[in-house]
Structure 1
Amino acid sequence: MSTRFQAVSIADYEEEALKVMGGDAIAFYNSGSDGEETLKENRFSSTRYRIRPRIMRGISHVDMTSSILGHSITFPVCVAPSAWHRFANLKGEVETAKGVTSAGVVMNLSSVATVRTEEVTSSFPDGLFFMQCYCLGNKRLQELMLREAKRQGFKAIVLSVDCSVISKRRKQFGPSMLERINSEMLPINYMQNEESSRRAEEEGPAAFLEYFMNMAHGATPVGLDFIRWIKDTSELPVITKGILTGKAAREAVEHGADAVWISNHGGRQLDFSPSTLDVLTEVVDALKGTNAEIYIDSGFRSGSDVFKALALGARAVFLGRPILWGLAVRGSDGVRDVLDIIKEELRLCMMLSGCPDINSITKNHVINESDYLAAKL
């Protein structure tokens, strides 16, 4: 655990993380793809939406509890999958999970975790965990990993559908980071009792890392039927992560997805793709008449950001980078602190907007700035 740190906002944790993490780790966590236009847009898109409060509603407290795929959570903000947590804290995902489970929300474990997923789930048997995976070129390995997820008690599979090839990230891998990955932080959850992965592992760290990159980001040709295969193989609900259009959302649900996750990968995949908040209404409209839940990530940094997403139709908001900042600065306490900060900001926003519970937050509470200004002219 690092030194005591007092924060009043997520921005404080970001600033402090820049001081305590090495340059390569910061470059990996905070960079985007190509010119980083989508990365920048994610941070500013929320400012285009204005909150329309209701006053004198006689509210003395608010109920922030919610649910996700039928599982109760303390408030509708959860933790997105991200790779290599040990670059932020030597205990890695185990330390992250300690903070997340204490907050009573979902933690998504990346398949590129720096500890074995079983170590995390066995350490926190009461935790609520979803498992992220890619569309792998090695179907046998994918099958083994999915069945392991079911056995370990994961509640859903999060299928990243926007990573058939990895983007150009100009700042991402410095020499020291590559050395650490090769020596001590390989994607060990891919080391299964399967012939090709075992052979790559035997050839050494560099060969195994190349094997993983080719398999997970090697232009694997998969179609929409792959969603049903993932669902049938894992026997778990499937969430398709990386949706950015209404049509894609509808097609995913028609092919078996139980939920869609609006994401541009934190600005790390296709540059100049839209901010997630800007496509939320389109996806909500496309999924009317279905039972599919809608989640969202990318650029959320405050309780008011979360409030806007909930008003526009998201079931839950997922945090990525802020969790890593908290992990780097104060370990599990920092993770919990980041979640508590945004929870308190959301509570205040609900109180000031006249919303006694999560279900009372509606689209009437938010208006796009352009519509608002036009109405005043």
Structure 2
Amino acid sequence: MNYEEVLTNAKKNIGPNCKVCPVCSGLGCGNLMPGPGSKAPGNGAYDNYSAWRKIRLNMDTIGSPDPIDTSVELFGRKLSFPLLTAPIGSIRLQFNPSDDVADFNEQCMAACETRGILHAYGNGLEQRIWDEAILSGRRHGNTGIPVFNPDTPENIEKLMDLYHNDLPAAMCVVLDSAGLPHLRKLNGKGGTKTIGELRRLKAYSKVPMIFKGIMTAEGARKAVDAGADAIIVSNHGGRVVPETPGTA
């Protein structure tokens, strides 16, 4: 399949809200929520894109013609490239109603297995997604990292317990979605986490713990204080946290 065929296929299948733009800058889908774009004023994803576009590469073409080693060690595993695929939880809501996030996770883990990287995945608020993702991880060399919504510590620990026989490379809690209304409606107790609550989750986990959604140096210091093994700098893709700096 060539690039033009990829675009044609995507326009048929990716869903009504994605415009399959030549450049995924967030402009074509701005203010389309649900969807892949940014909530009003529709600038978050574009601000991220613009910030990363300002970074340039310094070239040095004097050297050995041997292949360049892009591998990196993370959590005791050697990755072929310093890359994780990103979680998409509510894929039916954001993209195509006929798509299933379990299928998405299965395909991503299979692809990551062939390329020597890891897939971070969410659940779309359905219990069965975790069960199916555990099976996908088992089939594909344990290439998945579960990403938990900022529910209560008790509920997050129950999800961690699902992995007692299939420990992933790491576990992750999303902090940049703490203020989303639909998460607060779940039980009225989800949302912002204290350092103490994060320490509790870190202590409960049998694998390295990642905190996703760090947006400031102070937030990074708090994450370290809470025992984070790694952080992910994120403003939720600029989609639902408007007016925050680009992640670059």
TM score, norm. by length of structure 2? 0.78
Give me the whole-angstrom Cα distance separating, in 2, the residues matched to 1:253 and 1:237: 13
Structure 1 distance, partners of 2:51, 2:6, is 21
Where structure 1 has 5 or more consecutive residues not aligned to the other structure, the ranges are: 168-209, 278-377
Q: Report the alpha carbon displacement of residue 96 of structure 1 after superposing the two structures with TM.
A: 2.4
Equivalent position of 2:24 in the other structure: none
Instruction: After TM superposition, list the pairs within 5 Å mapping 1:1-377 onto structure 2.
Output: 5-7=1-3, 16-23=9-16, 28-85=34-91, 87=96, 89-90=99-100, 91-112=103-124, 115=129, 116=131, 117-124=133-140, 126-137=141-152, 139-166=153-180, 214-215=185-186, 220=191, 222-277=193-248
DSSP 3-state at the match of 2:185: helix
Q: Retained in 2: the 8 A contact 1:81–1:109?
A: yes
Secondary structure (helix, strand or coil) at the match of 1:215 reads: helix
Residue-by-residue CA offset, 1:317-339 (whole Å, 9 max, x unaligned): xxxxxxxxxxxxxxxxxxxxxxx
Q: Does structure 2 retain, via aligned residues, the 8 Å contact 1:164–1:216?
A: no
Three-state SS of the structure 2 residue aligned to 1:249 is helix
Mapped contact 1:165–1:217 kept (Cα < 8 A): no
The range that moved more, 228-237 or 91-100, is 91-100
CA-based RMSD: 2.8
Assess, with a 3 A threshold, how the Cα gap between structure 1 residues 111 and 229 changes in structure 2: closer, same or farther: farther
Q: For 2:167 and 2:91, how far apart are their aligned partners in 1? A: 21
Determine if contact 1:85/1:93 at 8 Å carries over to the other structure.
no
* Residue identity opposite 2:156 in structure 1: Q
Kindly tell me: are residues 142 and 160 of structure 1, through their superposed partners in 2, closer, same or farther at Cα, counting changes over 3 Å? same
Which moved further from structure 2: 47-56 or 151-160? 47-56
What do residues 132-166 of structure 1 show as CA deviations (whole Å, max 9, x unaligned)? Answer: 012213x4332211121343221211111112221
CA separation in 1, counterparts of 2:187 and 2:143? 25
| Cα pair distance change 1:265/1:119, threshold 3 Å | same
Distance in 2 between residues matched to 1:217 and 1:240, nearest whole Å: 22
Deviation, structure 1 residue 240: 0.8
Q: Is the 8 A contact 1:164 1:218 kept in 2?
A: no
Checking the alignment, whether the CA contact within 8 Å between 1:81 and 1:110 is kept in structure 2 is yes
Q: Distance in 1 between matches of 2:188 and 2:231?
A: 21
Q: For this pair of structures, how many residues does the alignment match?
A: 225
Identity %: 18
Quick one: which amino acid aligns to residue 14 of structure 2? Answer: M
Per chain length, whose mean CA-contact separation is higher, i.e. which structure has more relative contact order (CA < 8 Å, sep 6+)? 1
Q: Which residue identity does 2:149 align to in structure 1?
A: Y
CA drift at 1:108:
1.0
Cα distance between partner residues in 2 of 1:216 and 1:82: 22
Q: Structure 1 length as normaliser, TM-score? A: 0.53
Aligned partner of 1:303 in structure 2 is none
